Structure 1
């Protein structure tokens, strides 16, 4: 009976470790996607600035703040 309990405890610990790793990977994936989207918005804003587009329009379509756009100049 003790072996069964030990195996069960080991199995539960393994499941918890798997969940922790999966949560870490999922979080990292979401953060990476968000970072990529932000970088794309910055790239688009930089191109819009280069084309002389008004900063208010850039803010509207990029979702960036005026401060973020000003830093690109």
Structure 2
């Protein structure tokens, strides 16, 4: 626990809000600071009210459920993003492979002396694409 300067109002509040505060420290704070005394009295009243406790617990439960749902949604989104990325990558790879295959066939056709019109018909490549391969 950090060392608190009880002459500093901020330090008194930090100590008051600390979960590990002892009864003796709490009594000392209540004696020193009237606003802390008022806050402590209100907390005592509220903690005795069953409806307030029920609402507090419901809020805490809702907060936990929200965080859990957000975490699950984030994980699902990441998984989906990876799957979509892989699918797009595979599709792009197939497209690139088909183009490279056509280009290789066109080079071989050029090598055996076929004319550009015939190569264009057989490969489906454009005249611009074939001119780049020459």
* TM-score of the aligned structures, taking structure 1 as reference length: 0.90
CA apart distance, 1:57: 1.1
The total of aligned residue pairs comes to: 73
Q: Whose RCO is larger (CA < 8 A, sep 6+)?
A: 1
2:115 corresponds to which residue? Answer: 54
CA apart distance, 1:4: 2.2
Deviates more, 1:34-43 or 1:60-69: 60-69
Within a 5 Å distance, the mapping from 1:1-73 to structure 2 comes to: 1=61, 2-73=63-134
Larger Rg: 2
* TM-score of the aligned structures, taking structure 2 as reference length: 0.52
Q: In the aligned structure 2, how far is the partner of 1:72 from the partner of 1:12?
A: 49
CA apart distance, 1:16: 1.0
